[in-house]
Structure 1
Amino acid sequence: MLEHPFKRISVIGLGYIGLPTAAMFASRKVEVVGVDVNQATVDTINRGEVHIVEPDLDMVVRAVVREGYLRATTTPEPAEAFLIAVPTPFKGEDHDPDLSYIEAAARAIAPVLTAGNLVILESTSPVGATEAMAGWLAEARPDLSFPQTAGQGSDIRVAHCPERVLPGKVMQELTTNDRVIGGMTPLCSERAVALYKIFVTADCVVASGPRAAEMAKLTENSFRDVNIAFANELSLICDTLEMDVWELISLANRHPRVNILQPGPGVGGHCIAVDPWFIVSSAPDQSRLIRTAREVNDGKPLWVIEQVHAAIGAYLTTHSDKTVGDVTLAIYGLTFKPDIDDLRESPALAIAQDLAAQHPGPLMIVEPNIDELPRGLERAQLVDLGSVRADVHVMLVDHKSFRQSDSPSGKLVDARGVWQRPALAQY
């Protein structure tokens, strides 16, 4: 392990990435001060509890808070290193990146910066965001020098190091996944490597600068988005041609150099559904394929809703004594991926909310990872898997418990292939 001069580390933003990162540093016996604008979040952490669901996180937070290595506050305090892990949402429907949270975080820590400090932007960001952050810091602290003007000899070191973890495996992947580090100078990168090597056992790969590191994260998720869009487009084509997309993909994947992903109801989460738009916003004329993939995946929920209405119509055709208000609809899954509680950018949630607004009949929701239904589903009923009694069943998220259950009776709309994947004969 590299020697490090970091006696206190501050993590700004205690969400799905910030809190696990803070807990990981604290578990290595380094004092960590977590900062969040939400007082309830701060109070929860200071009790040794967590406000998000992530395997093993609660155990680590409880231990490091009890031992005095982690505490939370709403006001930044002096430290040797600052990690900014705040949201980077969109502005409006044009998918322009909103850097206001990063700017607010930068201006919040600026008063407590001292010469020799390291500031790392972890938030997934459009190209140029790290340099913009350095500009905001310099504007707030003209008495200090920054890499964009002072180079290697700057008072403050600035770098970008995007998170690259999978929800549900964050505590494992924080240590075992390679980190891409883009410092604004070689010395900035060197200090950032020393910081992450406190707990990272994988490689810390130094990029040519923050822009390369920013683009690397965006490229990784755009690659995945494009491949998912190919699978989703195949599902649309197969529906038109009256073919089984699950059989088709299974057959095509028998080729040794083909590995088509599985289609779904769309793409969600805080990365894959967001990051490609950051590339499009930076180079709109050159990112035609990335934009098209986003449009294919963003359009898939509408297609699923059309399938549900068609299934309701088919049910009414065989039950002429009933009206659409008599049809009970069951929706399986709301999260953006299986076996987690994360609803961010979830196409399944959006589909459920649209159906709740459109369908006049009873609506059941089966989502084993949450305790209460989110906004827009007030009239629906949250039920467990064994309590479902419905006429039309809509599979949106292939949770493990769903995969292990039998196919229900009634009309089926299976966006994940849980009930419909064929078994191919092999000789």
Structure 2
Amino acid sequence: MSFNTISVIGLGYIGLPTAAMFASRKKKVIGVDVNQHAVDTINRGEIHIVEPDLDMIVHAAVTEGFLKATLTPEPADAFLIAVPTPFKNSNENQGDSSIPEPDLSYIQKASEAIAPVLKKGDLVILESTSPVGATEQMAEWLAQARPDLTFPSPNQEHAGDNIDVNVAHCPERVLPGHVVRELVENDRVIGGMTAKCSARAVELYKTFVQGECVITNARTAEMAKLTENSCRDVQIAFANELSIICDKLNIDVWELISLANRHPRINILQPGPGVGGHCIAVDPWFIVSKTPEEAQIIHTARKVNDAKPQWVINKVKLAVADFLQANPTKTAKDVTIACYGLAFKPDIDDLRESPALNITKQIAELHSGSVIAVEPNIDELPSKVNTLQLSKFETAKNTADIHLLLVDHKEFKGISVKSNYLIDTKGIW
């Protein structure tokens, strides 16, 4: 059975590019999102996120009639679920020893939303990065909502053709800023709940994927994505811990890493103000929450990286104290702090789980003087950030007393910021 109509549930940073790639191959694509603004924007042939080249693809797909967005799911042959998987009662800084619990409610709501329009022969793929067992849980929710259809269940890997709806997990493995290219070129891990589920999923993705589609089971596919990001988190934690050690020993960590990396088998990553985004800062917790006694290194790395923002804030406090000591006629209210970069990584507009944004917000809440933020990739601050003011780079450079570099955006590189009160968490100034 061919896939004539494809539905993508969740039109965010992964869902929309995925929907656009299917539509660019002349497939009818129905995108579903609960955000009315996102739906209206897409139906005008525009995009509500920042991602290079995506605007042209979406515009062409909508204009040619291959892509439309709705609030409610419609019948299709394949359904891809790309909704958030946050934590229950999550706070923005998991700096203590508590283990956050994954929140699968978005997946459950998406499952319940598509259940009424499912039919025999359909394929449902969970793309959301999820804790191990989430795909099986999704299949169970679908089975509860549609008792008239049969769905795969655990330990049915070699089930035959007696399953009405195929279910698989296929995590995205793309880099923000390069999503369009990497969706096409990267290998995909396909984890079907049965062999037929995997085969059907491969058939679907081969619509546009040029990389290899590697088949495994659903649990291993879920764990593969978590493992990739946990590995990165551990490596970043080593660099971040090294930066704290070097600061205490009065050693330039950037020079040290450069020298160590001259060894042919050493490749230390660069430290920063913490770890953010919807993957590396989140996915390791999915492993820790399932196996808290066993995931010792992964848990420690999370605590190291989650504690780094507070270390940066403490450096700012020390800089304010030094400034006031050197300028005894001034008070803290007279001190202006400029924070450069709010996104969770360079050259994107994505503020999700951003340590830079959280650091800046906390500084603004703690500091009695003015705090200005420079983020060249956004035009306005989120409504929840009401203690900050967005500023141009030159204004911040010329008016601030203390300068805090948090994200190494291209706009900040090659620029000289001279100050005795400069905290550079990325080593570019």
Which TM-score tier does this pair reach, normalised by the shorter chain? over 0.9
Partner of 1:122: 127
Distance 2:383 2:6 in 1: 36
Partner of 2:75: 78
Partner of 2:59: 62
Instruction: Give yes or no for the alignment of 1:180 onto 2:180.
Output: no
Distance 1:147 1:366, change over 3 A: same
Distance 1:140 1:377 in 2: 40
Instruction: Give yes or no for the alignment of 1:95 onto 2:100.
Output: yes
More displaced 10-residue stretch of structure 1: 356-365 or 211-220? 356-365
- Say how many residue pairs are matched: 415
Deviations 1:7-27 (A, max 9, x none): 000000111100000000000
Which of these residues, 311, 314, 318, is aligned with residue 322 of structure 2?
A: 314
Aligned ranges for residues 390-401 of structure 1 at < 5 Å? 390-401=400-411
Percent identical among aligned pairs is 67
- Aligned partner of residue 289 in structure 2, secondary structure: helix
Distance 2:200 2:21 in 1: 18
TM-score (norm 2): 0.95
Structure 1 residue 376, shift from structure 2 partner: 5.3
Structure 1 residue 387, shift from structure 2 partner: 1.7
Aligned ranges for residues 90-239 of structure 1 at < 5 Å? 90-93=87-90, 94-148=99-153, 151-153=159-161, 154-207=163-216, 209-239=217-247
- Aligned partner of residue 149 in structure 2, secondary structure: coil
Partner of 2:395: 387
Deviations 1:90-136 (A, max 9, x none): 01254111001101111111111111100000000000000000000
Structure 1 residue 375, shift from structure 2 partner: 4.2
Structure 1 residue 243, shift from structure 2 partner: 1.4
Structure 1 residue 378, shift from structure 2 partner: 2.6
Structure 1 residue 287, shift from structure 2 partner: 0.2
Distance 2:382 2:420 in 1: 27
Structure 1 residue 318, shift from structure 2 partner: 1.2
Partner of 1:49: 46
Distance 1:320 1:395, change over 3 A: same
Distance 2:384 2:244 in 1: 28
Which of these residues, 399, 403, 416, is aligned with residue 413 of structure 2?
A: 403
Query: 1:50 corresponds to which letter in structure 2?
Result: I
Instruction: Give yes or no for the alignment of 1:32 onto 2:29.
Output: yes
Query: 2:280 corresponds to which letter in structure 1?
Result: I
Root-mean-square deviation over aligned CA pairs: 1.1
Consecutive aligned runs of 4 or more in structure 1 exceeding 3 Å deviation: none
Distance 1:37 1:381 in 2: 30
Query: 1:65 corresponds to which letter in structure 2?
Result: V
| Stretches of structure 2 lacking an aligned partner (at least 5 in a row) | 91-98
Structure 1 residue 407, shift from structure 2 partner: 2.1
Structure 1 residue 410, shift from structure 2 partner: 3.9
